[in-house]
Amino acid sequence: MINTAIPSAGFYRGEVIHVRTWPARHEFRYNVDFVVLDLPDLSAFTAAKPVFGHNRFAPISFHDEDQLVSSPDSLTALDRLNHVLVQAGRPTVTSARLVTFPRFFGFGFSPVSFWFDASAQNCAPLLLEVNNTFGERHIYHLSAEPSRSHLIEKTFFVSPFNTTRGVYHVRFAPFDGTFSARIDLEVDDRPLLFTALRGQFRCPSRWSATTATARCLTSGTTALPFIWLQGFNLRTKGLKPLMRPNSVSEDTLVREPSSKHKRHQSQ
Residue 264: pLDDT band (50, 70, 90) is very low
Q: What is the pLDDT of residue 202?
A: 93
Q: What is the pLDDT of residue 36?
A: 95
Q: What is the pLDDT of residue 245?
A: 76
> Is 37 within 8 Å of 97 (Cβ atoms)?
yes
Kindly tell me if the per-residue pLDDT of 162 is higher than 70: yes
The pLDDT tens digits of the residues spanning 117-153 come to 988 776 789 999 999 888 889 999 998 666 678 999 9
Burial (CB count within 10 angstroms: exposed 0-12, middle 13-18, buried 19+), residue 25: exposed
**Higher confidence at residue 157 or residue 181?**
181
B/e letters for 182-197, b = 16+ CB within 10 Å, e = fewer, are bbbbbeeeeebbbbbb
3-state percent breakdown (helix, strand, coil) of the chain, nearest 5: 20, 35, 45
Q: What is the pLDDT of residue 71?
A: 66
Kindly tell me if the per-residue pLDDT of 205 is higher than 90: yes
Mean pLDDT across the stretch 86-109? 92
Query: 3-state SS of 113-149?
Result: EEEEECCCCCCCEEEEEEECCCCEEEEEECCCCCCCE
The pLDDT tens digits of the residues spanning 76-88 come to 999 999 999 999 9
Question: What are all long-range contacts of 78-81, with beta carbons under 8 Å and residues at least 24 apart?
Answer: 78/39, 78/40, 81/39, 81/115, 81/126, 81/127
Mean pLDDT across the stretch 186-200? 93
Instruction: Name beta bridge partners: 70.
Output: none
Mean pLDDT across the stretch 148-164? 86
The pLDDT tens digits of the residues spanning 9-51 come to 999 999 999 998 988 888 888 888 999 999 999 999 999 999 9
Q: What is the pLDDT of residue 38?
A: 93
Q: What is the pLDDT of residue 216?
A: 82
Q: Please state whether the predicted TM-score (pTM) of the whole model is above 0.85.
A: yes
Burial (CB count within 10 angstroms: exposed 0-12, middle 13-18, buried 19+), residue 92: middle
Mean pLDDT across the stretch 203-229? 78
> Domain spans of the chain?
10-266
Q: What is the pLDDT of residue 265?
A: 34
Kindly tell me if the per-residue pLDDT of 56 is higher than 50: yes
Q: What is the pLDDT of residue 255?
A: 63
Mean pLDDT estimate for the chain? 83
